Amino acid sequence: MKALNKEVSLLLSKHREKIFELWNKQLILRARSLVEAVGIDETKQMTLDILGHFINVMPDQDDQANDSYQKVLKILAAMSRKMTLQNITPSETAIFVFSMKNSIFPVLQDEFDEKKLADAIMAVNQLIDLLGINTFETYLESREEIINEQQQAFKEVSVPVVKVWDRIIMIPLIGMLDSERTQMMMEILLEALENSQSKVAILDISGIPVVDTLVARHLITAASAAQLMGAECIITGVRARIAQTLVQLGVDLGGVVTRTTMADGLQLALELTDQQMH
């Protein structure tokens, strides 16, 4: 097997030019958008590099720590990553690798007899398949990275503080109130109360899809912290079905003033601070 691999490697090296030409022709036929995205000259350079390393890997293809093997993987990983970012499908990236077969097999066909040909094709096949699978893995990895980044970006949606009137601030709460987010909301609320010397804070929960016991607990905690600072907390955006659900859950919001709409909340806040709308 090893002798055959060496022979294949030598043969590929000898017909390097021909394989290179064939491969690039294949690419333009079968992976046009990829070639367009990468650029013709760069594609040529890349195929040339991969081919060179491939020939080096061939003699001992099972040795995955091999320097050339690692280099091929690196080139392919870089390409796969780049393609993911440019929204080129992973199939096209895979075709890039797999079309190498169509350029190598004709050469083997010309040079080897039937028995040898089968073995040689098997060996080449195995290696190219490995490389192809690798581009898929890289594709998945880079996708995961993108998803992770987006999740992070999503979490960073800040909690805005709106000063709606003299001594009245409002904080619209959106999305899911997990512990991190609540901690942030709490800090921002208390800091804003201190800095603006506000007496009333309106927390609007219209943007929270599900108000369960966790959200309720966070709201109660925020309200009691505000009360410690001498401020009143009004929770607005309590719709009919949320009220009903909270009652069935057995949540007691007794200590917290609640209103259905922002308008009602603001009205109450103005009364609490002895102010009037003119």
Partner 1 sequence: MPNSRQNSESFEIMISNFEDIILARQKVKFLMGEMCFSLLAQTRIVTAVSELARNMVTHAGQGKMTLFQVDGKRKTRGLKCIFEDKGPGIQNIDEAMQEGFSTANSLGLGLGGAKKLCNEFKIESVPGKGTSISIIEWL
- Least distance (Å) between residue 148 CB and partner 1: 11
Closest to partner 1 by CB, 124 vs 216, is 216
DSSP classification of residue 60: G
Closest to partner 1 by CB, 113 vs 156, is 156
Q: Please, which residues have CB within 8 angstroms of residue 99's CB and are 6 or more apart in sequence?
A: 23, 26, 27, 30, 31
CB environment 151-183: b (16+ within 10 A), e (fewer)? eeeeeeeebebeebbebbbbbbbeeebeeebbe
- Least distance (Å) between residue 252 CB and partner 1: 9
- Least distance (Å) between residue 263 CB and partner 1: 22
Closest to partner 1 by CB, 87 vs 154, is 154
Q: Is residue 23 a contact partner of residue 47, using CB atoms and an 8 Å limit?
A: yes
- Give CA 266 to chain center in angstroms: 40
Which tokens hold the place of 166?
């003299």
Closest to partner 1 by CB, 45 vs 183, is 183
List contacts with partner 1 (CB under 8 A): 151, 176, 178, 209-214, 216-217, 240-242, 244-245, 248-251
Q: Is residue 150 a contact partner of residue 126, using CB atoms and an 8 Å limit?
A: no
Closest to partner 1 by CB, 164 vs 243, is 243
> Residue 210's CB: how many other CB atoms inside 10 A?
10
- Least distance (Å) between residue 208 CB and partner 1: 11
- Least distance (Å) between residue 147 CB and partner 1: 10
